[in-house]
Structure formats: C-alpha cells, structure tokens
C-alpha cells in the first residue's frame, strides 16, 4: 500500500434540497466506513465527517465547506485526500477505484 487514505464526507444535518429521498450525509458517512472496511479489511484508512455549516478550525476543511455552500454542490461531498470523488449520492465504485490507486487491495 502506498499510503493511508484520508477520506472526508462533507455534509449537513439537513438533507440537500436536490437530494430528497437519498440517505443523509451522516448515513452516507457510516455506509462508506462500513463498506470500505469490508472491501479492504486490515488496510488502514481515516474517514471523517465534516459539517459544512460548522466545520472544524482547519483551514482546508473551512475553505472546502465554504466552496460547497457557495457553489451549491450537492452534499454529501466525498473527497479522498484533496480530490473530490462524488457529490449528492457518491458511487462506491468511484471511491473503491481511488483507494486502489492508493495501493489498497480488495479482499
């Protein structure tokens, strides 16, 4: 494995207006964490949920949260490292592909 992936799920308690009938941001976060753990067991990764309306003090998280709001992106927005992988209803296949680029191997 090249390096440990850092996955961020940016979202909010309120479901995005264009994302009605889709899972909430927190549900997506929990689903991704479970799915990645099953697909890549014993391969470490970090996954964090970030509330776009109350981001942590880290500049990168604050700036990306502001971008989501200003550009009206559909949330949740999923990033691996600093690369946006999906928004609204992220595709698990895209997340897996990016992790494989990091050197993760499906079991």
Report the pLDDT averaged over residues 55-64: 94
CB atoms within 10 A of CB 33: 16
Q: What ranges do the domains of the chain cover?
A: 18-75
pLDDT digits (tens, 9 = 90+) for 10-36: 999 877 666 667 788 999 999 999 999
How far is the C-alpha of 100 from the C-alpha of 90, rounded, in Å? 17
How far is the C-alpha of 30 from the C-alpha of 25, rounded, in Å? 9
| Consecutive H or E run containing 63 | helix 59-70
Q: Which CATH class is domain 18-75?
A: alpha beta
Judged against a pLDDT cut of 80, whether residue 44 lies above it is answered with: yes
Burial of 67 (0-12, 13-18, 19+ CB in 10 A): middle
Judged against a pLDDT cut of 90, whether residue 86 lies above it is answered with: yes
pTM metric for this prediction? 0.91
Report the pLDDT averaged over residues 50-61: 95
3-class SS of residue 87: strand
């Amino acid at each position: 494995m090249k390096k440990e992936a850092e996955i961020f799920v940016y979202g909010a308690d309120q479901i995005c207006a264009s994302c009605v009938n889709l899972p909430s941001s927190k549900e997506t976060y929990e689903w991704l964490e479970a799915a990645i753990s099953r697909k890549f067991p014993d391969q470490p990764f970090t996954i964090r949920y970030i509330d776009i309306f109350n981001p942590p003090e880290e500049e990168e998280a604050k700036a990306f949260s502001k971008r989501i709001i200003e550009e009206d992106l559909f949330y949740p927005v999923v990033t691996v490292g600093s690369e946006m992988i999906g928004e609204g209803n992220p595709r698990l296949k895209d997340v897996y592909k990016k992790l494989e680029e990091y050197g993760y191997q499906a079991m």
